[in-house]
Structures are given as C-alpha cells and as structure tokens.
C-alpha cells in the first residue's frame, strides 16, 4: 500500500508589484507556473544568502526595474 505524500499549502498574498513581477517572469520563461517562479526565486535567494554567509559580497544592480547582474566576490 502506497503512502499518500503529505502536501503542505501556504497562503500567499502578493502585492501588486509582486504579482506583476511574477507575471513578467512567467512571460519571460514561457509556459511556467507561478509556483515554479516562486520555487526558482526562493532557491536563488537561499543561494545568495548562503554565499553571503560564506563571506561573499553581493553587488546587485537594477536598470529599468530589471536585475542587471549579481557579482559574488
């Protein structure tokens, strides 16, 4: 008998800017769900936090509301 996996849900309330950002990301990457965009964003944020904790300095520049570059030193 297979065990049913536990599924956790979390309510998500987005500001208007966050919603637009998700829609932009979904449009940029083609057929991608909001959940996938959120997973990618969380993974990226976790990676950057980990690198920062290891002593890397982060330079994040935005041009016209877009991320230009991330430099890990």
Residue 57 lies in a domain: yes
Residue 11 lies in a domain: no
Range of the structural domain that residue 72 is part of: 40-73
Residue 60 lies in a domain: yes
Q: How far apart are CA 65 and CA 70, in angstroms?
A: 14
Structural domain count, the chain: 1
> Which band of pLDDT confidence, cut at 50, 70 and 90, is reported for residue 68?
low
Q: What are phi and psi of 5, to 5 degrees?
A: -65, 145
Residue 54 lies in a domain: yes
Q: How does the average pLDDT of the chain come out, rounded?
A: 68
pLDDT at 69 over 70: no
- Nearest Cα neighbor of 34 from 44, 20, 46, 48 is 20
When comparing pLDDT for 29 and 10, which is higher?
29
> Which band of pLDDT confidence, cut at 50, 70 and 90, is reported for residue 64?
low
Residue 23 lies in a domain: no
Report the DSSP pairing between strands 58-63 and 66-72.
Answer: antiparallel
């Amino acid at each position: 008998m297979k065990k049913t996996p536990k599924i956790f849900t979390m309510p998500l309330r987005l500001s208007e800017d966050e919603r637009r950002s998700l829609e932009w990301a979904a449009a940029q990457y083609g057929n991608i769900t909001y959940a996938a965009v959120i997973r990618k964003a969380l993974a990226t944020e976790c990676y950057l936090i980990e690198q920062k904790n290891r002593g890397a300095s982060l330079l994040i520049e935005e041009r016209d509301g877009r991320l230009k570059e991330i430099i890990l030193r």
